[in-house]
A and B are shown apart, each in its own frame.
Chain A
Amino acid sequence: MRCLYIDIFDKLTILSDSAKYDVACTSSGVDRSGKKGSIGSAAKAGICHSFSADGRCISLLKVLMTNICVFDCKYCVNRVSNDTVRVAFTPLELAELTINFYRRNYIEGLFLSSGVIKSPNNTVEQMIKALELLRNDYHFGGYIHVKAIPGADSELITRLGLLADRMSINIELPSQESLKLLAPDKTKESILRPMGLISSKIQETSTDLVKYHHVPKFAPAGQSTQLIVGATSDTDHKILTLTEGLYKKFHLKRVFFSAYMPVAEHSLLPALDIKPPLMREHRLYQADWLLRFYGFEAKELLDEQNPNFNLQVDPKCNWALNHLEKFPLEINKAPYEMLLRVPGIGVTSALRILTARRSGPLDFAGLKKIGVVLKRAQYFITCKGKIMEGLKITSDGAIGVLMADQYKLPSHYPEQLSLFNEPLITREDVQQCLTGQI
């Protein structure tokens, strides 16, 4: 370890630089108003305070307590075998920085993670000290997202969770084999056990709350995790099925995906010069949205035969093209769940369609006014029994074109190519890439 004189400016630089690969920066999930004598509040929807040059939301002061680490995870910049400057925040420094950023409205709160100093327990104790200072001495009522350290005692994890709004443990690698290969100090068990603990603690305190009003809440904004995409050979199908399981089994609030950025050279890892699979990550986020808000199940989107997402067509459109028998849909009659399955109609416009239908039947001009993306939706809907004027397409034609597109076969219906002859990966797609927040 190199020894240098390090001031707060350098510490912030080093400890935010090594925290930046954590994609989660949401401050959502809990509503808490300010209290007399304290500073801070939390808003259910979360608030983005800035966006960095990579287009990701900055909501929390995202730092490590320290980048000293005894673990040797191959994909991580802080691994013990990496020769780098090691520093640590004192609890006081961290509290001062958080409060002063918060007062100036730079941030919504703190995202605290850490390398493993000495042992997992020791690390968690340090983190508890910092958070207690913030909550009890500085009366900080803003948002705190804290990382649970795998391998720490449940008693310590419980104390940590009572101080935080959200807790997370990163799974990082989607399978036991990948873990064994790249993160020899972690096991599936050491990650899933605390995850189960957090989940049951959240359940426990939320049911206690019904009985007693003043029970301290354990991570009221829930639990999240992160999976690395592209460091190993795990398929999208595997990742998405795991994601679905986490939502169902552990009641996770969010699963984040992180396209693998080559940060270390190792024979087991992709080469340093590969590009991060941003489009793949984007497709996973789209699918994640479909699971959480659109009533889709993982097995509808991918299966053993098609284990990876089509990078050309988004998952919802892909599903629609494979289920043309369900279309066209009559806008004035279709139930909400089916409206959500039309490409070009999202949650907002589906709800608006329901509202607008109460005062009279809708036509295409009306749909446009309430924000439906007709360019996509027109092929899948009818209004008052009619397809959109000027649209000449038979469902057979559509199938032909779209199948050709999917399997990269020459199309038998060249005249129909207008259906998707704009660049398939739209600018909008690229813009949304991995903001993670969208």
Chain B
Amino acid sequence: MSDRTDLVYAYDGSFAGLMCCIFESYDQKENPNLIRPPGVQQSLFDTAKWIETDEHKADRVYNSIPLKISSQAQELVKLGFLTCNPRKELLIYHFLRLGFKHGSKVMTMLTNDAVCSLQKAVRHLTSESHKLTGFLRFSVYGEVLVAVIEPKNLVLPLLSAHFCDRFRNETFMIYDKTHSMALIYREQKAELMFVAELTLPEVEGSEIEYRRLWRQFYKTIAIEGRNNPRCRMTLMPKRYWGQMTEFNETDEQKSRGPDQWRVAETATETLPTSMVSLDSPFSYPTRK
């Protein structure tokens, strides 16, 4: 194996691209010390080696994971790619190197740094996703439900199954402001796509009314004698509050919104037509 210590791989930011980086490192017997997605600033001296994405190579690596390691390892790698860890590529790379060497045993090596960090990153992702299944708030625009979230990790693929199952007869959109992505569910089908910006029209009267009722319920249900703001903050960190109805008093004074149908149309108009299916392993959307 090459012992260059400054080897950097650059790839297109897709999951398939990352799998190709793994392929390359085995093929060329190289050991990169950085795998860089697009948009990350280069350091002064790195001369990155560009790794071309090749679906065939990617498939070979991805399909070998359950055979050589385990299907749990494959799941971990898939989820690892959705985390916000700035070194996620390298964590996955080291985890897979270890896995191809030790086999399924790698999943029990909890004190190994690569395994430990990757699992920690994935726990951060899944716990954020679980929190959002509760903290996410929809607003009703005509027949369409729209929610805005600002997660640290890419949680939309995880939220998709939960909300599509729960609201299977609804039409809804969950907009991830952090990653400029949206999950759109209509006519029993879910799509994940990039949406650069989303402007929502004014809400209608009944929406304002239900928000008011919810805020009142939220205030009333607390027992004054047991006030415990610190406990609340631990269980529901402040970064979620911005998008939650109970902490947003601004529409209390607002006048009633204009026509209700515009929203549904705007929502569909602004969406690009390209579709990404949610089930295939390489579906994680990539920025071209």
Are A and B genuine complex partners? yes
- CB within 8 Å of B: which residues of A? 8-9, 12-13, 16-17, 19-21, 33-41, 43, 45, 47-59, 61-62, 97, 100-101, 103-106, 108, 259, 261, 275-276, 278, 352, 355-356, 358-360, 362, 365-366, 369-370, 427, 430-435
Cα distance A430–B231 in the bound complex, in angstroms: 8
B232 at interface (Cβ–Cβ under 8 A)? yes
Could you tell me if B134 and A104 are in contact, using CB atoms closer than 8 angstroms? no
Q: Name the B residues within 8 Å of A104 (CB-CB).
A: 137-140, 145, 210, 214, 245
CB distance from B182 to the nearest CB of A (A): 16
Q: Name the B residues within 8 Å of A37 (CB-CB).
A: 169
Q: Name the B residues within 8 Å of A57 (CB-CB).
A: 235
Could you tell me if B110 and A369 are in contact, using CB atoms closer than 8 angstroms? yes
Q: Name the B residues within 8 Å of A355 (CB-CB).
A: 107-108, 110
Could you tell me if A108 and B134 are in contact, using CB atoms closer than 8 angstroms? yes
Could you tell me if B217 and A359 are in contact, using CB atoms closer than 8 angstroms? no
Could you tell me if A103 and B140 are in contact, using CB atoms closer than 8 angstroms? yes
Q: Name the A residues within 8 Å of B134 (CB-CB).
A: 47-50, 59, 105, 108
Query: In the complex, which of the residues B133, B228, B232 has the most CB atoms of chain A within 10 Å of its own CB atom?
Result: B228
**A104-B145, A356-B110, A433-B231 known; A20 vs B222 contact (CB < 8 Å):** yes
**A50-B246, A261-B226, A432-B231 known; A362 vs B212 contact (CB < 8 Å):** no
Q: Name the A residues within 8 Å of B213 (CB-CB).
A: 8-9, 12, 97, 101
Q: Name the B residues within 8 Å of A48 (CB-CB).
A: 134, 235-236
**A358-B108, A369-B116, A431-B234 known; A276 vs B217 contact (CB < 8 Å):** no
Cα distance A332–B4 in the bound complex, in angstroms: 39
Cα distance A345–B116 in the bound complex, in angstroms: 18
Could you tell me if B166 and A53 are in contact, using CB atoms closer than 8 angstroms? no
**A41-B165, A50-B244, A55-B228 known; A106 vs B223 contact (CB < 8 Å):** no
CB distance from A224 to the nearest CB of B (A): 18
B221 at interface (Cβ–Cβ under 8 A)? yes
A104's closest neighbor in chain B, by CB? B138
Cα distance A100–B229 in the bound complex, in angstroms: 28
Could you tell me if B166 and A370 are in contact, using CB atoms closer than 8 angstroms? no
Within 8 A of A (CB), among B141-179: 145, 147, 162, 165-170
Q: Name the A residues within 8 Å of B145 (CB-CB).
A: 103-104
Could you tell me if B111 and A105 are in contact, using CB atoms closer than 8 angstroms? no
A259's closest neighbor in chain B, by CB? B226
B109 at interface (Cβ–Cβ under 8 A)? yes
Q: Name the A residues within 8 Å of B138 (CB-CB).
A: 103-105
Could you tell me if A9 and B135 are in contact, using CB atoms closer than 8 angstroms? no
Cα distance A12–B219 in the bound complex, in angstroms: 11
CB distance from A36 to the nearest CB of B (A): 7
17 CB-based A-B contacts, threshold 8 Å: A9-B216, A16-B221, A19-B221, A47-B130, A54-B223, A55-B228, A56-B223, A58-B218, A103-B140, A104-B138, A106-B214, A259-B226, A276-B225, A355-B107, A356-B108, A356-B109, A435-B231
Interface size grouping (class) on chain B = 35 or more
Within 8 A of A (CB), among B164-198: 165-170
Extra pairs beyond A39-B166, A101-B214, A105-B147 (16, CB < 8 Å): A9-B216, A16-B217, A34-B167, A39-B169, A47-B130, A48-B236, A53-B227, A55-B226, A58-B218, A59-B134, A104-B138, A104-B140, A278-B226, A366-B110, A369-B110, A369-B111
Q: Is the interface of A mostly helix, strand, loop or mixed?
A: loop
Query: In the complex, which of the residues A20, A49, A55, A278 has the most CB atoms of chain B within 10 Å of its own CB atom?
Result: A55
Could you tell me if A9 and B212 are in contact, using CB atoms closer than 8 angstroms? yes
Cα distance A365–B221 in the bound complex, in angstroms: 44
Could you tell me if A359 and B105 are in contact, using CB atoms closer than 8 angstroms? yes
Cα distance A21–B212 in the bound complex, in angstroms: 23
Cα distance A50–B237 in the bound complex, in angstroms: 11
Interface string of B198-226 (1 = CB under 8 A from A): 00000000000010111011111111111
Q: Name the B residues within 8 Å of A38 (CB-CB).
A: 169
CB distance from B114 to the nearest CB of A (A): 12
Q: Name the A residues within 8 Å of B225 (CB-CB).
A: 261, 275-276
Cα distance A434–B227 in the bound complex, in angstroms: 11
Could you tell me if A55 and B140 are in contact, using CB atoms closer than 8 angstroms? no
B230 at interface (Cβ–Cβ under 8 A)? yes
CB distance from B235 to the nearest CB of A (A): 5
Within 8 A of A (CB), among B85-110: 105, 107-110
Could you tell me if A359 and B108 are in contact, using CB atoms closer than 8 angstroms? yes
Cα distance A122–B147 in the bound complex, in angstroms: 41
Could you tell me if B232 and A34 are in contact, using CB atoms closer than 8 angstroms? no
**A104-B214, A435-B235 known; A39 vs B167 contact (CB < 8 Å):** yes
Could you tell me if B221 and A20 are in contact, using CB atoms closer than 8 angstroms? yes
Q: Name the A residues within 8 Å of B244 (CB-CB).
A: 50
B136 at interface (Cβ–Cβ under 8 A)? yes
CB distance from B256 to the nearest CB of A (A): 17
Q: Name the A residues within 8 Å of B166 (CB-CB).
A: 34, 39-41
Interface string of B50-79 (1 = CB under 8 A from A): 000000000000000000000000000000
Could you tell me if A58 and B111 are in contact, using CB atoms closer than 8 angstroms? no
Cα distance A61–B214 in the bound complex, in angstroms: 10
A42's closest neighbor in chain B, by CB? B166
Could you tell me if B222 and A16 are in contact, using CB atoms closer than 8 angstroms? no
CB distance from B3 to the nearest CB of A (A): 27
Could you tell me if B220 and A20 are in contact, using CB atoms closer than 8 angstroms? yes
**A12-B217, A104-B210, A370-B116 known; A55 vs B165 contact (CB < 8 Å):** no
CB distance from B155 to the nearest CB of A (A): 14
CB distance from A280 to the nearest CB of B (A): 13
Q: Name the A residues within 8 Å of B162 (CB-CB).
A: 41, 43
> Which 3 A-B pairs rank lowest in CB-CB distance, beginning with the nearest?
A55-B231, A366-B111, A52-B222
Interface string of B106-124 (1 = CB under 8 A from A): 0111110000100000000
